[in-house]
Amino acid sequence: MHMFRTASLLFRLWKASKIANTVNPLTDKRRTHKGNMENKNHEHYMNIALGLARRAAAEGEVPVGAVIVHDGEVVATGYNRREQGADATAHAEIIAIRSACAALGRWRLEECDLYVTLEPCPMCAGAIVNARLEKVIFGAHDPKSGAMGSVVDLNALPLNHKPQVTAGVLGEESAELLREFFAKLRKKI
Ligand code: ZN
């Protein structure tokens, strides 16, 4: 009798430990690990976009940079060239989208992610929807013309495509670059 009770208790303890193992922090750990990896990836590509934004500033353009990633590879880049191109549509995102379409030989950019240092404007958000980009990751919010939540949210409209949006990746760095650029411009005037 005594032996049986001990065995049964041991069995119950073993069962409990098995259950504990399956629900335990292990799974949470994996989730956190995945989240960290995603953040790391986001920052990696956003740093490339920031480099492009710096190049724009060096060329006298408002510093905004963009990259398009497909299968972990940068397939297109762009930075604001509105002044040099004397072109109102030469925003970083439009240049990157055109370049990605040319590189991949298709206008549908499904399974592609766009990283841009500043929240897209209504024109670029429209181009993003038309290109069917899967994800948009942006840095700083644009309270003056942001179309992904700041002034309007294009994703809130009943359009045929909704990209997943992540905001604020290296947002402070992106905003600082813009602040610096406009501060210098004001000194020149
Ligand atoms: Zn734009």
Q: How far is the CA of 17 from the centre of ligand 1 (A)?
A: 55
Q: What's the pLDDT at 33?
A: 72
Beta strand 112-118 with 135-140 is parallel
**Secondary structure of residue 81 in the 3-state scheme:** coil
Q: What's the pLDDT at 188?
A: 82
Which of the following is catalytic: 43, 61, 73, 93?
93
C-alpha separations of 181 from 64, 79, 138, 151, 186 in Å:
11, 15, 19, 23, 9
Q: What's the pLDDT at 109?
A: 98
pLDDT in tens, 29-77: 455 677 788 888 999 999 999 999 999 999 999 999 999 999 999 999 9
Which residues of the chain are under the pLDDT cut of 70? 1-32
Task: State yes or no: is 93 an active-site residue.
Answer: yes
